[in-house]
Chain A
Amino acid sequence: MIVRGDERVLVQGITGRQGTFWTERMQAYGTRVVGGVNPRKAGTSHCGVPVHATARDAMAADGFDVSVLFIPPLGVKEAALDAIEAGARRIVILTEHIPVQDVMWVLAAARERGCAVLGPNTAGCVTPGECFVGFMPAFDAEIFRPGNVGVVSRSGSLGTLICLNLVQAGLGESAFVGIGGDPVIGTTTRDALVALDRDPRTEAVVLVGEIGGAMEEAAAEYAAGMSKPVAAFVAGRASPPGKKMGHAGAIVMGDRGTYASKRSALEAAGVRVLDTPSDVGPVMREMLG
């Protein structure tokens, strides 16, 4: 999911502490926040934009293209369904620890209505120089600079480190897509890879994966047919099996989700797999010629 600077963003949960902190930063960076949602504060104004009772009201009032949710885990299902029923084309779910059955419900409803979901448990997405949605440090010039490398990452913190290394190598990013660390998510690594492949500003891609699940293997199938060069770093090589490594999705069960499986699938697809994130700068410079 790539969000452009001219797209209208709704913030569900805008009046909370984190909602306020990050709305102010999104606005300062250039994200076009057109409104917020809080049923108890409808009719007021917050961060200089109107607060609505529901996403449906927000759609009726000013419209929006993307909704981002700063909502606690057990409230996400209702808020996301509100946005989907309002006709949102894209929603970004940042929350971690949402019950998986709630996530499945939201994703089924979204699919039916043609709404793309980023997350849950993501730090969001960044289009450097234009806008960001979520809680990425887009405003930090050491980390994000407009450029031609697209980055897709399951992890916000590791994705941030990769972007830092790109900028330290004199490169910049066309888009950062954080897909989230949960096992069941809307936009997969492969979906994000397809979006970056089609993005005219992206000339090379860094795929940041981690152990658990089979998303890197599915992305590798697509990468095999790409003409844009792809490099990858997969976290969790030194992690013990059978334990959830912080992310609910980062767990090796038997032969499934192992580092070795992901690395060999990516390498077979012609993806350059890095041993440390510090290699990403020099390798990308070389790949971009």
Chain B
Amino acid sequence: MNFEEHAGKAVLAAAGIAVPRGELVTSPEAAAAACRRLGPVVVKAQVPTGKRGKAGGIAVVDDADAARAAAERILGMSIGGHPVERLLVEGRAAIRHELYAAVLDDPDSKGPMVMLSSAGGMDIEEVAERHPQKLVREAVDVRSGLDEVAARAIAARVGSDVAPESLADFLVRLYRAWRDADAELLEVNPLAVLDDGSLVALDCKLTVDDSAVVRQAELAATGSPERLSDLEARGRDLGLKYIELDGDIGVLANGAGLTMTTMDVIAHHGGRPANFLEIGGESYTKAEPALALVLDNPRVRSLVVNFCGAFARTDVMTAGVLDAFDALRPTVPAFFSVHGTGSTEARAMLRERLGREPYPTMDEAIAAAVAAARGAEGGR
């Protein structure tokens, strides 16, 4: 789950990290009023995505009129598919220089990684590529966490002019905030060093582990729900991962790997998938509502049902599909491939209730579905 900057900064502030004085506003008038209180400000679009500056979603202004004009321009913009509905208006301070700091999940060391760089304010991938010596990475044992001593060693390695104890204190707080939020990523870029040597988090990117949202209910309430199409929202409500795509071949398969592969093979045969939808794992009992979801996409012109059961029993999934066929009587041609756990029973059901024999291989079923979507032939 992603968070807008202001929600991420609330997490930082709660951990004792300094953030600029600011106000969250939703109108040009309120932006102007905030500017009158705060003095020269930055007006920042609040959307859960990066590259806001490049998209024109950030304005540096000196007075209330300019703040109002900037807010009028930015509100209603769309950045990375997110309409801008809120702005963060923040006071400015004299900055000596900018650092980069983050704690994130590292699949290579299989634990948290602390990253600190003296080159802040720019794209960190670019820093890593162009100035690798300026980027310190330190793997942390999640069981013991990051203590003062380890944090000081990291701080000493970046060679900034900030007092190492103050940078170390910041890192320890950042790490704790990452841990307590079940974050995947907590990034401060830039981390400003002010003229008096104090540290202020000018921006914040927070992503919380989707699997931990169940135990982070309070925090999750301040996060940004994923932007979903109507069909995707229906999928979420059913507990199904449904992703709407722009093709015309409906996909129902079990397991993420098999579902991605079904899409790949559709593309390989020259077709275009209409959706990702998998009913693997515990959701294999939801074939009936899942199929209804696939068929409710008006672009779907043919359907591939591809089951290869391990944990997900194909007999249970096929029974659900047949119930959906009985209820919906779909007119689009359907093409089946059914293998794995429970497939003998599943094939018998398909024969008895639908008079269909699955194709011997997935490729044959998919090739037929691609041909049908082009209008070449009917289902089997």
| A interface residues, Cβ below 8 angstroms from B | 18, 73-74, 96-101, 104-105, 107-109, 111, 123, 135-137, 140, 142-143, 153-161, 164-165, 168, 181, 183-186, 208, 210-211, 213-215, 233, 235-240, 243-250, 254, 275-278
Contacts and interface: CB of A to CB of B under 8 A. Distances in A.
B361 A278 contact: yes
Q: Which 4 A-B pairs have the closest CB atoms?
A: A155-B257, A157-B255, A246-B256, A158-B257
Nearest to B314: A137
A233 B56 CA distance: 41
14 contacts: A100-B211, A104-B110, A140-B341, A143-B340, A156-B311, A157-B309, A161-B258, A164-B339, A168-B361, A245-B259, A246-B276, A247-B257, A249-B107, A278-B362
Contact of A184 (B107, B265, B276): B107
Contact of B310 (A109, A157, A243): A157
B273 interface: yes
A140 B209 contact: no
Nearest to A178: B310
A219 to B, nearest CB: 13
A198 B211 CA distance: 35
B contact residues, range: 35 or more
Nearest to A25: B341
Interface string B4-26: 00000000000000000000000
Contacts of A107: 110-111
A98 to B, nearest CB: 6
Nearest to B243: A243
Nearest to A234: B264
Given A155-B258, A184-B110, A238-B267, A104 B363 contact: no
Interface of B: 105, 107-108, 110-112, 125, 141-143, 179, 182, 184, 209-212, 214-215, 241, 243, 245, 253-261, 263-268, 273, 276, 278, 280-281, 308-312, 339-341, 343, 361-363
A285 B48 CA distance: 50
Contacts of A159: 257, 310
B143 A157 contact: no
Nearest to B258: A157
A155 B243 contact: no
A96 B363 CA distance: 29
A69 to B, nearest CB: 14
A176 to B, nearest CB: 10
B111 A140 contact: no
A100 B308 contact: no
Contacts of B105: 100, 104, 183-184
Given A97-B210, A246-B280, 10 more contacts: A99-B211, A107-B110, A111-B110, A142-B343, A157-B310, A160-B340, A211-B260, A239-B263, A243-B243, A246-B255
